[in-house]
Structure 1
Amino acid sequence: MFLYNIDDQISLKLLEVRDGEKIFDLTNSSRDYLRQWLPWLDQTTKQDDTNEFIKMSLKGFAENKSLNTVILVNGQIAGVAGYNEINWSNKTAYIGYWLGEEFQGNGIMTKVANALTEYAFKELYLNKVEIRAAAGNKKSRNIPERLGFVNEGCIRQAEWLYDHYVDHIVYGMLVNEWNERKS
């Protein structure tokens, strides 16, 4: 079991199948909001879809290839965040995240991304953390920018979003840059 306390209100907990109903309910209540930038909403139409994602995530964790967690705010599931992929050959983690609409605007995701970056460098001994966000998704892009990630460029038409392509901005942080910022 993975449990990581960020502060007295926010923690990250490994996804569990028993969380499926609450994650699906949060997805449903934020569906229109999340659909603006996340391409998987139309494939997540019932709790079984969420449960399958959780099972896939647990398999990735067991194989040491990923780490997906629920974000708990005062014990309540507020979203999902983690390493969509860990590339051990290149010592790089790729952070992904989403937050329910009602939890937006409180700095939660910035704290979560900060904690995941710190964990990647201090506990997993990785060299680089990347965050990718759609070019037009200012809220998501603000997170790595606040944390001092470097804008490494644009991947044109990186993702099909229902009826159009969106470009992705790639942000990167190297362990030496992180350590310099922290000292």
Structure 2
Amino acid sequence: MLRGDEVGLRGRHEDDIPILRAGLYDDVAESSRSSGAPWRPVVAGSADPRLVLDDGDQAQVPFSVVGLDGGALLGAATLWGIDTHNRTAHVGLRLLPSARGKGFGTDVVGTLCHYGFVVRGLRRLQIETLADNLAMVRAAERNGFVREGVLRASAWVLGECVDEVLLGLLAEEWKPEARNSSAGERF
């Protein structure tokens, strides 16, 4: 397991799937805001492609996010779109409603940075998020990500096109201790 200050990133357990499905994917509005694909119901007990892992897929590494103080499941995180030639990847995370607003996002992003830069030897990480997702933007910026641009009207969310913010971080810019200096403001 990868350990941050308050969270751990571990492989997905079978019993994580119904909790993540109920907390992250059954909510149409929330799921629509965090996915590039339209929401659709998934039959209980079926292999949900958003949660069931494909060990052969080298382009993504999904994790379950757990609290270090007891192991409670907090959400899901992933490095996706991994490009081993260019040594780049994208960062994604989704916290269960009960884990939001507690500062875990900053720790998850930092732990994913450690995995990407130190464990995998990547040279660039990137985040695309809805422009109004201030919690994700702050979590990224606390870990050193820089706003590189706005993708105007690039995401279709519940009947409207909305802007996305593009943030990037290079391995040589990453300072793992920097995220701890802003721990006073929690989201």
Q: TM-score, normalised by structure 1?
A: 0.83
User: How is 1:144-159 mapped onto 2 (pairs within 5 angstroms)?
Assistant: 144-159=140-155
Aligned pair count?
175
1:138 corresponds to 2:134: yes
1:174 paired residue number = 170
1:98 corresponds to 2:94: yes
Cα distance, 1:152–1:178 mapped onto 2, change above 3 Å: same
Q: Which of the pair is proportionally richer in helix?
A: 1
Distance 2:105 2:149 in 1: 22
Distance 1:46 1:158 in 2: 30
Per-residue deviation, 1:174: 0.4
Structure 2: runs of 5 or more not aligned: 179-187
Q: TM-score, normalised by structure 2?
A: 0.81
Cα distance, 1:32–1:53 mapped onto 2, change above 3 Å: closer
2:4 paired residue number = 6
How many percent identity over aligned positions? 22
CA RMSD after TM alignment: 2.5
Q: Select 1:66's aligned residue among 35, 39, 60.
A: 60
Per-residue deviation, 1:25: 2.6
Q: Which has the higher contact order (CA 8 A, sep 6+)?
A: 2
Structure 1: runs of 5 or more not aligned: none
Cα distance, 1:23–1:35 mapped onto 2, change above 3 Å: closer
Tell me the SS of whatever aligns to 1:94. strand
